[in-house]
Structure formats: C-alpha cells, structure tokens
Amino acid sequence: MSAARPGNPARATRRPADEESNRALEDWRSREEEGDEMPSLKQKLQFIMDGGAVVRYHARSGIKPDTDAHHSHGVAMLASLLAGEDEDGRTKASSSLIMACLTHDLAEQWASDVSAGTKAALGLSLALGEAEKGKLREYGLCYHDGLDPEEAAVLGLADQLDCLMYCLRELSLGNRNVLLVWRRTCARLESMAGAASLDTALRASQVYEALKEAYREVTGPGGPEFDVYAPPNDGEPKAPKRQRAPQTAQSRAV
C-alpha cells in the first residue's frame, strides 16, 4: 500500500449527496417537524441490537463468528488512528466519523451482508449502498450524510483494515481458509490509497505494514508475539512521553 499516491483533489469540499439521498433526508426532517409517526425508542434500540448481531462472512466457514458489532467497533478504532492526533495525543476524528463507523452496517439486517464480489458482478454497490443509507435515515442513524470526502475515505480504509484484523484472529486460531479473504482485502487496500489525502494514506500505510508484520508472526513457526500480560518490549525504542502543561490548583479542582 503506497503512501505516495496523490490524494483526491476534491477532498477539501463536502461530498454532494445525490438527489435521491437529498429527498430521503428532507423527507425524514419533514416527518420530524410535522410530527409524523417515527420509530419509537424501543424500535430504535431493537434496530441497533439486531443490526449488531448480523454475522459477517456467512458464506465462508470460520472458527469464531465476526458480527457487525465486532466489525464496527474495529472500524471506529482504526478510523480514530487514521484521522491523526492533536498535540495532546487525542484523535482528530470527528464524532460524525466515529458514529458513521459504528452504524455503517446496521442496515444489513434488512439488506443482508452481500459479498463485495456479488455486488461488483451485479452492479449493486451504489444502489445497495443508497438503499442502506435510506434505511439508516428512517431510524435517524445515517451519519454518512455529515462526512466530507476525506472522512469517507478514512471510513473506507478502516473498513478494509478491520477485515485484515479479523483474518489475523482467524489465522491465529488455525483457519487457513481465511487467507483468501486476506489476499482479496490486501488487493482492495492497494487500490484505495489514492482516494485519501497524503497524510491519511501514510497513516493507513503504517497500519497496513504493522498488520502485515503481525501476519508474518501469526503464520510463522513461533506464532503471535503479542502478550497483553507481558510488559511491552519488542526491541524498538520507546516513544518519548508527551509533555503536558502542569496542573494549576483550579484545574485540579475541576
């Protein structure tokens, strides 16, 4: 995955929604304003719960199922890394981006988790994506509408990188069938870097290389090296600690 690819020149502008998306969003807002029947809180909670329970990779056997809830958590965490950090070490990811990551697949309980190959072969990607956004809007959960092109690119990259994380978990358990998914996902990532800014592409490349290093460990004779119970010591120099401003009596009292 090359970080040297040029970014999208339109990334600094907001992504225009098509006419159908605009109509759906306006319809949702008008229904709210006019007091039309909306999903109840119980229905919204059920939609969130059932959407998270959808099982991914259902067409290929795995050792430990991956649900949309597992996946969306991973996408959100990866997006927080790809968005970069401020001077205090906090992610620059907006709340809209994080919420879009957490909700992006909730409508699959209604539309089904259609494989990327099937969507490409039948030309369903755009139509199915818009249909899922429409369903999310019904429940007031379509955070895609608030993303700019750069944030949309971050979500797309994080979506694919989490697929690699799933593959690593399965490989560590002995599932070599998932190597097919790993290779296809790597190929998609290689083709996606140009949609993001150079900074985002660089961070995505660093995450990608770290995951490939973990892949070499998992598939090697020694197996995974990471142990959460052991002190971090991988032979690399420790990153310098961030210097924080000293607390005043007033700040300590807050």
The yes-or-no verdict on residue 179 having pLDDT over 60 is yes
pTM of the model: 0.78
User: CATH 3.20.20.370: does it fit domain 25-223?
Assistant: no
Q: 6: helix, coil or strand?
A: coil
Q: 55: helix, coil or strand?
A: strand
pLDDT in tens, 133-147: 999 999 999 999 999
- Chain center to CA of 37: 32
Beta bridge partners of 85: 91
Amino acid, single-letter form, for residue 131: A
Beta bridge partners of 91: 85
Q: Please state, rounded to an integer, the average pLDDT across all residues of the chain.
A: 83
pLDDT band at 18 (very low <50, low <70, confident <90, very high): very low
pLDDT in tens, 55-66: 998 778 889 999
Ranges 2-6, 30-34, 174-178: which has the least confidence: 2-6
C-beta separation of 153 from 195 below 8 A: yes
Residues 198, 167: Cα–Cα separation, whole Å:
27
The yes-or-no verdict on residue 6 having pLDDT over 90 is no
pLDDT in tens, 220-252: 999 888 888 988 765 555 555 555 555 555 444
pLDDT in tens, 191-214: 886 888 999 999 999 999 999 999
